[in-house]
Structure 1
Amino acid sequence: MRDVVAKNLRRLRADRGWSQERLALESGLNRTYLSAVERSEQNISVDNIARIADALNVEAAVLFTP
């Protein structure tokens, strides 16, 4: 599941033309943390999934969809 979230996060961010810095700013999360999530190196909490989904203006379920 971590790989699915990582892939979707990278894709959604890239689709918007956002850097990791921009997503960090929009979500209130640390850029290094987001980078680790995108590389499947870091577990992510439900709260942070919600913050990222809000920043990207998508339903949280989109991040979990293979």
Structure 2
Amino acid sequence: MDVVKLLGENVRRYRKLADISQEELSLRTGIKRSYISDLERGTRNPTVKALGQLADGLRIEPSALLTRE
């Protein structure tokens, strides 16, 4: 299982479910939009801190970003 790809897919999915742009998620989390874009494409390894920030910004549990549905 490619965890980085799974995380990226989940960030994109939950962001779309929340009906927010990458820019809005960036504002909510303090993470650069380009970093979020890289994460969603699976081209960047997230830090544990970023995982928590993303979960907070998406208003979900961090574990949801690492779970396959």
TM-score by length of 2: 0.93
- Following TM superposition, by how much is the alpha carbon of 1:41 offset from its aligned partner in structure 2, in angstroms? 0.5
- Paired AA for residue 54 in structure 2: I
Q: Which residue, out of 43, 55, 60, partners 1:58?
A: 60
Q: Could you tell me the TM-score, scaled by structure 1's length?
A: 0.97
Measured in 2, the distance between the counterparts of 1:37 and 1:8 equals 10
Q: What count of residue pairs does the alignment treat as equivalent?
A: 66
Structure 2: segments with no counterpart, 5+ residues: none
Distance in 1 between residues matched to 2:8 and 2:33, nearest whole Å:
14
* Structure 1: tracts of 5 or more residues without a match: none
Runs of 4+ in 1 over 3 A off after TM superposition: none
The Cα shift of 1:40 comes to: 0.3
